[in-house]
Amino acid sequence: MTQGGRAQAEASAPFTGLLAYPITPLADADALDLDALGRLVDDAVRAGVDGVVVLASSGDGRAFDDAERDQVVRAAREAAGAAPLHVAVSAPSTRQVVRHALAAERAGADGLVLAPFAYAPLVDPEVAGLVRAVADASDLPLCFYNKPLQTGYDVTPELLVELAATTTLRGVKDPAALPSRPDARVDELRTEGVAVGLSGDVALTGDAPLADAWHTGLAALAPAEYVALRRSRAAGVPGPTAEATWLHELARAVGVLRPVSALHALARLLGVRTGPPRGPWLPVPDDGVALLRGVVDRRP
């Protein structure tokens, strides 16, 4: 696809471009801080991200009850304005996933993001049944969030083809790198009507391919740098800029810490009002905060 064709596709297709995954900020006593969330979403949209996804891994969606989830989606919807807003709906049971999907649709979501998981790794027929149940309940486009290290399930290109033909599946989010699969498999996952997106900030800020989309929690905290990085990569600009080098250093620092806790600690260093995430996540220890602060202080 040419860069012009890619830009046109990203303007019209769901789950394309740079998709930012904000944390869910918390105030005292673990209460939601919806004003802080609204500012994160607004800042990301103003910086030029192509969409926002709430309540996924970065947003620690498993930590919130139905009423809190509804507040998060509605606050993000208001802050996002006309920008696409997608909602992660993962849960341990199909009934919960469908409930989350319907609630997200009522609250104004433009799309759904689903990582299938249970207390044992699922198999293809179970995953297909879950996706079909969501598609039967909601007309919103669905992005398959593939997390093999965390769920023990790795989606196959063959299943994506089947689901794209029979359900509302319109995107896939795949790791840009895994220990067993160090290179992104964008071409393998190419399926008509499905946007192939990549995740993993260390790889994305390194040498991961552009793909149809980048899905990233860090883009919600450093949106200007991430937007500039993706645009320069799309334009074929040679060599890393100072901002891109800093962003890669930041991704590496976050990557050696506990993921959600690190994003909350980084958010505070960047001026976002939030406490640590809810347990069982633990706050980042002092040496980890110092590591992040050292990188933040070198921001170009």
Q: What share of the chain is helix, strand, coil (3-state, %, to 5)?
A: 50, 15, 40
- Amino acid, res. 282: L
pLDDT of residue 17: 98
Q: Is the CB of residue 130 less than 8 Å from the CB of residue 116? A: yes
- Amino acid, res. 258: R
CA dist., res. 229 & res. 234, Å (int): 9
145 is catalytic: yes
pLDDT of residue 8: 34
CA dist., res. 198 & res. 145, Å (int): 10
pLDDT of residue 238: 85
Through-space distance between the first and last CA atoms of the chain, rounded to whole angstroms: 33
Given the residues 145, 147, 153, 226, select the one marked as catalytic: 145
Splitting the chain (300 residues) into consecutive groups of 10 residues, what average pLDDT does each group show? 36 86 95 98 98 98 98 98 98 97 98 95 98 98 97 97 98 96 96 97 96 98 98 91 95 97 98 96 98 97
pLDDT of residue 77: 98
Give Cβ neighbours of residue 76 (< 8 Å, ≥ 6 apart). 22, 37, 38, 41, 52, 54, 85
Domain 3-237 homologous superfamily, CATH: Aldolase class I (3.20.20.70)
Given the residues 21, 147, 173, 226, select the one marked as catalytic: 173
pLDDT of residue 12: 54
